[in-house]
Protein backbone atom coordinates (compact mmCIF):
# COMPACT_ATOMS: atom_id res chain seq x y z
CA UNK A 1 0.00 0.00 0.00
CA UNK A 2 2.91 2.32 0.65
CA UNK A 3 4.11 2.17 -2.94
CA UNK A 4 0.74 3.51 -4.29
CA UNK A 5 -0.18 6.03 -1.61
CA UNK A 6 2.14 8.44 0.11
CA UNK A 7 2.42 7.95 3.86
CA UNK A 8 -0.12 10.66 4.99
CA UNK A 9 -2.87 9.23 2.71
CA UNK A 10 -2.44 5.61 3.79
CA UNK A 11 -4.54 6.13 6.96
CA UNK A 12 -7.09 8.37 5.21
CA UNK A 13 -8.19 5.65 2.75
CA UNK A 14 -9.87 3.30 5.33
CA UNK A 15 -11.47 6.30 7.09
CA UNK A 16 -13.19 7.35 3.85
CA UNK A 17 -13.72 3.94 2.25
CA UNK A 18 -15.47 2.16 5.16
CA UNK A 19 -18.23 4.81 5.68
CA UNK A 20 -18.80 5.01 1.91
CA UNK A 21 -19.27 1.23 1.63
CA UNK A 22 -21.62 1.22 4.66
CA UNK A 23 -23.68 4.03 3.14
CA UNK A 24 -24.11 2.09 -0.12
CA UNK A 25 -24.98 -1.18 1.63
CA UNK A 26 -27.41 0.30 4.16
CA UNK A 27 -29.23 2.53 1.68
CA UNK A 28 -30.99 -0.48 0.18
CA UNK A 29 -32.09 -1.85 3.58
CA UNK A 30 -34.65 0.78 4.56
CA UNK A 31 -38.17 0.23 3.26
CA UNK A 32 -40.66 3.07 3.51
CA UNK A 33 -44.44 3.05 3.75
CA UNK A 34 -46.03 4.28 0.54
CA UNK A 35 -48.30 7.23 1.32
CA UNK A 36 -49.51 7.94 -2.20
CA UNK A 37 -51.78 6.29 -4.73
CA UNK A 38 -52.02 6.34 -8.50
CA UNK A 39 -54.62 6.60 -11.25
CA UNK A 40 -54.10 4.96 -14.62
CA UNK A 41 -56.29 4.29 -17.64
CA UNK A 42 -56.91 4.53 -21.36
CA UNK A 43 -58.50 7.36 -23.34
CA UNK A 44 -60.43 6.32 -26.44
CA UNK A 45 -62.72 7.84 -29.09
CA UNK A 46 -66.34 6.72 -29.66
CA UNK A 47 -65.21 3.86 -31.93
CA UNK A 48 -62.73 2.57 -29.31
CA UNK A 49 -59.64 3.95 -31.05
CA UNK A 50 -56.73 5.41 -29.10
CA UNK A 51 -56.54 9.17 -28.42
CA UNK A 52 -52.83 9.96 -28.00
CA UNK A 53 -51.80 13.36 -26.67
CA UNK A 54 -54.97 13.97 -24.66
CA UNK A 55 -54.42 16.26 -21.66
CA UNK A 56 -55.60 15.07 -18.24
CA UNK A 57 -55.85 17.21 -15.12
CA UNK A 58 -56.64 15.53 -11.79
CA UNK A 59 -57.99 17.88 -9.12
CA UNK A 60 -58.41 16.73 -5.51
CA UNK A 61 -61.94 17.83 -4.60
CA UNK A 62 -61.29 18.84 -0.97
CA UNK A 63 -57.90 20.55 -1.27
CA UNK A 64 -57.93 21.77 -4.88
CA UNK A 65 -54.45 20.42 -5.63
CA UNK A 66 -53.96 19.46 -9.27
CA UNK A 67 -51.67 17.25 -11.28
CA UNK A 68 -51.45 17.12 -15.10
CA UNK A 69 -50.32 14.53 -17.61
CA UNK A 70 -50.91 13.50 -21.23
CA UNK A 71 -51.65 10.17 -22.84
CA UNK A 72 -48.81 8.37 -24.63
CA UNK A 73 -48.90 7.00 -28.19
CA UNK A 74 -51.06 4.07 -27.02
CA UNK A 75 -53.50 6.48 -25.27
CA UNK A 76 -52.45 5.27 -21.82
CA UNK A 77 -51.98 7.74 -18.97
CA UNK A 78 -50.65 7.48 -15.44
CA UNK A 79 -51.00 9.96 -12.60
CA UNK A 80 -48.72 8.85 -9.77
CA UNK A 81 -47.84 10.22 -6.33
CA UNK A 82 -51.41 11.36 -5.63
CA UNK A 83 -52.44 11.95 -2.04
CA UNK A 84 -55.40 9.83 -0.90
CA UNK A 85 -58.75 11.50 -1.58
CA UNK A 86 -61.48 12.00 -4.16
CA UNK A 87 -60.43 13.39 -7.53
CA UNK A 88 -62.11 15.01 -10.51
CA UNK A 89 -60.30 14.22 -13.77
CA UNK A 90 -60.78 16.63 -16.69
CA UNK A 91 -59.79 15.23 -20.11
CA UNK A 92 -59.32 17.51 -23.12
CA UNK A 93 -58.20 16.83 -26.66
CA UNK A 94 -58.61 18.78 -29.93
CA UNK A 95 -61.78 17.84 -31.87
CA UNK A 96 -63.27 16.10 -28.81
CA UNK A 97 -65.64 17.34 -26.13
CA UNK A 98 -64.15 17.92 -22.68
CA UNK A 99 -64.88 14.89 -20.50
CA UNK A 100 -64.95 15.03 -16.69
CA UNK A 101 -64.67 11.93 -14.49
CA UNK A 102 -66.16 12.70 -11.07
CA UNK A 103 -65.62 10.82 -7.81
CA UNK A 104 -62.41 8.92 -8.60
CA UNK A 105 -61.23 7.69 -5.20
CA UNK A 106 -57.50 7.28 -4.57
CA UNK A 107 -56.18 5.35 -1.57
CA UNK A 108 -52.61 4.93 -0.35
CA UNK A 109 -50.52 2.24 -2.05
CA UNK A 110 -53.24 1.45 -4.60
CA UNK A 111 -53.52 1.90 -8.36
CA UNK A 112 -57.00 3.04 -9.42
CA UNK A 113 -58.13 2.48 -13.01
CA UNK A 114 -60.24 5.19 -14.69
CA UNK A 115 -60.79 4.72 -18.42
CA UNK A 116 -62.53 7.41 -20.50
CA UNK A 117 -64.25 7.53 -23.87
CA UNK A 118 -64.26 10.96 -25.51
CA UNK A 119 -67.14 12.16 -27.65
CA UNK A 120 -66.70 14.12 -30.87
CA UNK A 121 -67.05 17.80 -30.00
CA UNK A 122 -70.01 19.96 -30.83
CA UNK A 123 -69.72 23.67 -30.17
CA UNK A 124 -68.52 24.00 -26.54
CA UNK A 125 -69.75 20.67 -25.19
CA UNK A 126 -68.78 19.01 -21.87
CA UNK A 127 -69.53 15.41 -20.93
CA UNK A 128 -69.57 14.41 -17.22
CA UNK A 129 -69.17 10.79 -16.12
CA UNK A 130 -69.46 9.60 -12.52
CA UNK A 131 -66.83 6.98 -11.78
CA UNK A 132 -68.14 3.66 -10.52
CA UNK A 133 -66.20 1.40 -8.18
CA UNK A 134 -63.83 -1.00 -9.92
CA UNK A 135 -64.68 -4.60 -9.06
CA UNK A 136 -61.48 -6.17 -10.36
CA UNK A 137 -58.05 -4.60 -10.06
CA UNK A 138 -55.94 -5.64 -13.04
CA UNK A 139 -53.08 -3.16 -12.65
CA UNK A 140 -51.43 -4.81 -9.61
CA UNK A 141 -50.99 -8.41 -8.58
CA UNK A 142 -51.18 -7.94 -4.82
CA UNK A 143 -54.26 -8.91 -2.83
CA UNK A 144 -55.35 -7.13 0.32
CA UNK A 145 -58.52 -7.06 2.35
CA UNK A 146 -59.74 -4.69 5.01
CA UNK A 147 -62.06 -6.22 7.56
CA UNK A 148 -64.39 -3.61 9.05
CA UNK A 149 -65.37 -3.38 12.70
CA UNK A 150 -68.94 -4.18 11.62
CA UNK A 151 -67.78 -7.50 10.20
CA UNK A 152 -65.83 -8.30 13.37
CA UNK A 153 -68.89 -7.57 15.52
CA UNK A 154 -71.57 -9.22 13.35
CA UNK A 155 -70.01 -12.27 11.69
CA UNK A 156 -69.97 -15.57 13.56
CA UNK A 157 -66.39 -16.12 14.68
CA UNK A 158 -66.21 -19.67 15.97
CA UNK A 159 -63.16 -21.65 16.83
CA UNK A 160 -62.94 -24.95 18.65
CA UNK A 161 -62.69 -23.06 21.92
CA UNK A 162 -65.44 -20.40 21.51
CA UNK A 163 -65.39 -17.04 19.69
CA UNK A 164 -62.07 -16.47 17.88
CA UNK A 165 -61.40 -13.29 15.83
CA UNK A 166 -58.67 -15.04 13.86
CA UNK A 167 -61.27 -17.14 12.08
CA UNK A 168 -62.02 -13.96 10.05
CA UNK A 169 -59.15 -15.05 7.81
CA UNK A 170 -61.47 -17.66 6.34
CA UNK A 171 -63.62 -14.94 4.69
CA UNK A 172 -60.64 -13.41 2.85
CA UNK A 173 -60.65 -14.46 -0.84
CA UNK A 174 -57.78 -16.78 -1.69
CA UNK A 175 -57.16 -17.90 1.91
CA UNK A 176 -57.27 -21.58 2.65
CA UNK A 177 -56.70 -23.04 6.08
CA UNK A 178 -56.30 -26.75 6.67
CA UNK A 179 -58.10 -26.91 10.03
CA UNK A 180 -56.86 -24.99 13.04
CA UNK A 181 -53.19 -24.17 12.66
CA UNK A 182 -51.96 -23.91 16.20
CA UNK A 183 -50.05 -25.68 18.88
CA UNK A 184 -52.35 -26.74 21.70
CA UNK A 185 -49.53 -27.52 24.09
CA UNK A 186 -47.40 -24.41 23.48
CA UNK A 187 -50.24 -21.96 22.82
CA UNK A 188 -53.22 -22.26 25.19
CA UNK A 189 -54.85 -19.14 23.68
CA UNK A 190 -55.15 -21.16 20.46
CA UNK A 191 -53.95 -18.35 18.18
CA UNK A 192 -53.57 -19.25 14.54
CA UNK A 193 -49.96 -19.42 13.42
**Interval 131-181: pLDDT, tens:** 666 666 677 777 677 778 887 777 776 665 566 666 777 777 777 665 555
Question: How far is 92 from 89, CA to CA, in rounded Å?
Answer: 10
pLDDT band at 183 (very low <50, low <70, confident <90, very high): very low
How many folded domains does the chain comprise? 3
| Model confidence pTM above 0.75 | no
Q: Which domain holds residue 107?
A: 37-130
Residue 28: CB atoms within 10 A of its CB come to 7
Give burial (CB, 10 Å; 0-12/13-18/19+) of 90: middle
Residue 165: CB atoms within 10 A of its CB come to 13
pLDDT(103) > 70: yes
In a domain, residue 152? The reply is yes
Q: Are residues 17 and 100 in the same domain?
A: no
Q: Are residues 27 and 43 in the same domain?
A: no
Q: Are residues 75 and 123 in the same domain?
A: yes
Q: Are residues 4 and 41 in the same domain?
A: no
Residue 24 DSSP SS3 = helix
Q: Are residues 160 and 107 in the same domain?
A: no
Q: Are residues 193 and 165 in the same domain?
A: yes
Is 104 within 8 Å of 74 (Cβ atoms)?
no
**What's the Rg (C-alpha) of the chain?**
27
Q: Are residues 85 and 117 in the same domain?
A: yes
Amino acid sequence: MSKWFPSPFRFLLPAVLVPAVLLVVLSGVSNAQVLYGSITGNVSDPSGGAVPGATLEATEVNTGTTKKTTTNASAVYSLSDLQPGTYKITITSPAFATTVLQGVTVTANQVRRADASLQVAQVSQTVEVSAAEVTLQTDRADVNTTISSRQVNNLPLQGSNGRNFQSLMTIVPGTSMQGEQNSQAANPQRSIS
